[in-house]
Structure 1
């Protein structure tokens, strides 16, 4: 599928009286095409709706309506640490994704020429780092100790980039003290999902090492795929943005692989058979594994 020109509109405001701050969303779409599937993306800690351009622009130029909400932890909002919402930001993040799906009418109307071109029967979620944990809850993951199912039946596929693993003894003392919500259970995450992990992503949040970021694949049931990127750290080559300060392992080839493979996976998982999934992975860049692959 050839890349198409893209139009982005930001900010689009979704009223959120219970949130304390209305939700600001960026919407990116190709200028042509119909029956466009929806991809809601959750950014990592401190980022915003305008980040992750290498991914958002690619997905939009290849046929997706890309919806990027700005979560309360974004540096653009400068929420003080003592804000009463801070302990609940992880939960508000989940609501942001659900609210974005609920608000598709508003988002569609805000983009010139988009009306009537959105396929609302095909919705996926994706996220990076904390955003991946946020996205995973709509796919069926839960937080240990909180008996709440936050999955969304409208979401039928997902991509989790550098998603945090299990909590408890696997967390560093700092993470255990400051991030009690970082204790996911993947046993009910049945929605088809691609997990992307770097084999050099050695996080200070865990005592386990890079394999911690593969838990979502190994501990969840059903149709799952795992892309392990060789030499990749938490930025996975630079997915958060071009020349981003957070990127410690800049690698354009690695980012291109993530672009290409996530697009192909999502198109296939959403029932759009134009992607030739699974995509061959260069052996120098990574390894693709699957369990219960689709026929």
Structure 2
């Protein structure tokens, strides 16, 4: 084989799968004040595709989190990203009467996406008939992780300390929760006064989930240290895994996007690890394909200079 042919073969072998993407796909949302805009990304080929509904962090939109959305779509998942009302792209002022309940509207947004999978599938050329509605996961970062956790069974404690409404969704069978805030016992005075929804109970969050935390993620919302972000693992029952990343702050190395201002701990290697482990977890949880998950876990454990630790229960 000539050198040119060999090079071509190597390039072909590592070429990333093609992804199709459509935005904005608009879902009518009576009573919300704004119709729900979403981005849909999917592999260009294949059928029986599992679905991941992703909730962005505060101020972001369907256009963020390309390092995760693009990777998951390239590896066989249909990724649906709604734009929540807090997005900077919508410009809703803080004094808007909806503001105190945006946390709840966010949860409803994810449910609306799942309700409207038929419409979303029909809106993306080439996607018709390719979704597997029996395999649905939710994922999110920061506020988005809290939003997603509600569909997994987490509940918000009321002023009396009693868990509020159960907003879990039986159609969701797995979750990926990135930098999810912990219990409300250690909120700063500001957070306790202005963000009362940051008082979760994980007692009923039974759905399998991978929780990702940074060991340098010092939140201005909590008087505790970075271990606050491990509470969702510690205090929830059922099948859970906790990936704790060394040196990671709230952006976990840069998952919101490439070269964005919010990333204070840029680390392509850390982002690549999150890509590999979240993909392997989703394949294990949704498709019962455990080989990649076990391989990734062993590789992290045996690495001479590991980027983090992984434990499961």
TM range (shorter): over 0.9
Aligned residues: 290
Matching residue of 2:3: none
Matching residue of 1:286: 308
Q: Larger deviation: 39-48 or 105-114?
A: 105-114
1:3 and 1:62 in contact (8 A); partners too: no
Cα distance, 1:78 vs structure 2: 0.5
Distance 1:222 1:274 in 2: 17
TM-score scaled to structure 1, two decimals?
A: 0.96
Q: Report the secondary structure of 2:248's partner residue.
A: coil
1:137 and 1:150 in contact (8 A); partners too: yes
| Pair 1:188–1:207, CA change in 2 (3 A) | same
Q: Deviations over 1:133-186 (max 9, x none)?
A: 000000000001152000000000000000000113x10111111101011100
Matching residue of 1:7: 20
Are 1:207 and 2:223 counterparts?
A: yes
Are 1:79 and 2:92 counterparts?
A: yes
Are 1:253 and 2:277 counterparts?
A: no
Q: Deviations over 1:89-114 (max 9, x none)?
A: 00000000000000101110111111
Matching residue of 1:48: 61
- Among residues 137, 142, 149, which one is paired with 2:166 in the alignment? 149
Matching residue of 1:237: 253
User: Structure 2, unaligned stretches of length 5 or more?
Assistant: 1-13
Distance 2:59 2:238 in 1: 32
Q: Report the secondary structure of 1:93's partner residue.
A: helix
Q: Which runs of 4+ in 1 moved over 6 A?
A: none
RMSD, matched Cα = 1.2
Larger relative helix fraction: 2
Matches within 5 A, 1:1-295: 3-145=16-158, 147-168=164-185, 170-273=186-289, 275-278=291-294, 279=296, 280-281=299-300, 282=303, 283-291=305-313
TM-score scaled to structure 2, two decimals?
A: 0.91
Q: Report the secondary structure of 2:40's partner residue.
A: strand
